[in-house]
Each structure stands twice: as structure tokens, then as C-alpha cells.
Amino acid sequence: NLLLCYHTIGQRDKTRQAFNDLLKIPFSSSEDDYPVSARKEDRQAILVSEAIRDDQLTQMERKRRRLAEHIIVTAAKIIGNNSDGDFVNGYEWCIEQVRNSTYLELANGLEIQKAIAYLREDNFSKAITTLKQFEKAEAKLASAAATNLSFLHFLEKDLINAHKYADLALKSDKFNPASLTNKGNCCFAQGDYDKARYYYEEALNIDAGCVQALHNLILTLMNLNHYQRVKDLLHKYTLIQPENTQVFCLMAQALQQTNDFDHAKSWLVMLEINFYFKLGFFIKTLNYLERLS
């Protein structure tokens, strides 16, 4: 919270100092009491480690560890993305500090965040170069890097490499919904709607709230003329994103295709109402700003 305060008031040096202080906070767990080397030689240590491997205290420690890591990564992203326009310098500074701390395993994840920052700047070549460093990393990192590489190549309409990296990501982690969605996107772009449907459905089986997979599955089913299923999925979509006007348009289109013109009209009316509501709010805001000036 102190880091966020310094960041909000533009105190760059103090923000970085707070980040360093964050890294100095020790994190110990009960697993440290029984190191692997000791377990191999001490039967009692082996029995104890087996007993506590997944008990409530261990689960709580893991949860706290994940929270600590999330806070550190979020803080690094704040510094990296707000370094007077030089996000590379910001991320590299954070990565260097993390490598010199007890949280050094987070450094590679920050390298991937740096690649994503390159992507936001439309610097695809730098993003690809950064991500390719992790092709042979441990499974979790390799999957994250390959997932992003697949998406980058897809944006560049390079479907061969998009397929290649989607496959590599799934080889590292077959339960990654983003990788499954990327693979589905490649199949969709090639007109293979049955395969695309399979991958989107697999992604949704793992993460029912994966909006990208849900949206693209709807488009796929529309191409397959499965409009009853489309309508069911669109109702689910409205629960997740009730103000998404794209959903209104898709629902109206699906209803029109099934000759349900009255309901199609009602969805288009909702779209129109939503549009005028937002337009009215925009005009009201402009009028307020004009009075202030």
C-alpha cells in the first residue's frame, strides 16, 4: 500500500525503495524445517513431511506464498509500465532486484511481462525475441511464453508459427485455456470449424469464464448453423457481460436465423436503448466539463 501511495503521488524513487523493502520481507514455510537432503537420510523427517504435505497449514502457507508473489509481480508491473515511458528500463530494474532477493524464481515471469509490454507498444519483434528465450524453460514458463508467441504470430497472420507455438504450449500444459483458445483461433482462421469448436469447448471445460473462448465458440457454431446452441451460450454470455453490446447483436442475428423476428427486434431495441443511454451520459459529462472550464 505504501508503494501504491508513492506511485500515485509521483514519487518514483520512493516507489522503487518501497519495492526493495517489499522484497526484504522474509517468507518461510514449514517445509523449510525438513529440507529434501535431510528427508533422504532421516526416516522421521520423511514421515513428518508426508504427514504435513497437504495439511491445512501447508495449504494456508501456499495460499500466502501465492498472494506474496502476486503482490510483488503487480508492484513490478506498476513500476515497469510507469517509468517515464521507458518501460524496458523499469522492468529490467525490477528483474535485477528480484534476482538478488529470496523471490528470484519470479524473475523469469517478469521477463514475460516485459514481452507483453513490448506487445502493447506494437513492438512485435522485441516481444518475440524476449519470449523465445523461454522455449526450453520449465513447463509453466514454457507454456506461458509459447502461448504469447502463438498469439503474436496469429496477429501477424503467420498461422504456421501460430499453430506451432500453440502446440508447444499445450505440450507443456494441456490444461491452459489460453493455449486451447489460441489453437482454436488457428483452426477457425483456416475454416476448420469442427476442430475450432473442440478446442474452444475444451478451454471452457477448464475455465467456464474464459470469455474469449466463449465468444469464439459462438462465432464457430454460427458458421456451423447450430443456432439453438448459440442462443443457449449467448444467454450465458449476457450473465458474464450484461452490457456487452456485441452480445445483443449476436443474439439478434441468431434469433433472425431461426425466424424469431419479434425477439430479434427486442434485442435490437435493447441495443438502441443501451446506445442512447451511453450517448446521454457522454453528453452530460461534456456539459459538466464545459461548465467547469
pLDDT tens profile 46-55: 676 666 667 7
Burial 188-207 (b: 16+ CB within 10 A, else e): beeeebebbbbbbebbbeeb
Q: What is the pLDDT of residues 97-128, one digit of tens each?
A: 999 998 888 888 888 888 888 877 788 888 88
At residue 96, φ and ψ (nearest 5 deg) are -65, -45
Contact of 157 with 150, CB cutoff 8 Å: no
Mean pLDDT of 136-142: 74
Residue 60's Cα: distance from chain center in Å? 24
Q: Which range has the worst mean pLDDT, 25-39, 56-70, 167-181, 259-273?
A: 25-39
The residue ranking higher by pLDDT, 109 or 140, is: 109
Q: Coil, helix or strand for 244?
A: coil
C-beta atoms surrounding 26 within 10 Å: 5
State the average pLDDT over residues 52-72: 83
Q: How many residues does the chain have?
A: 293
In the numeric block, which cell numbers belong to residue 186? Answer: 488457428
> What is the pLDDT at residue 206?
94
pLDDT number for residue 60: 86
Q: Where are the domains of the chain?
A: 1-133, 241-293
Q: Can you tell me which residue has the cell 524473475?
A: 107
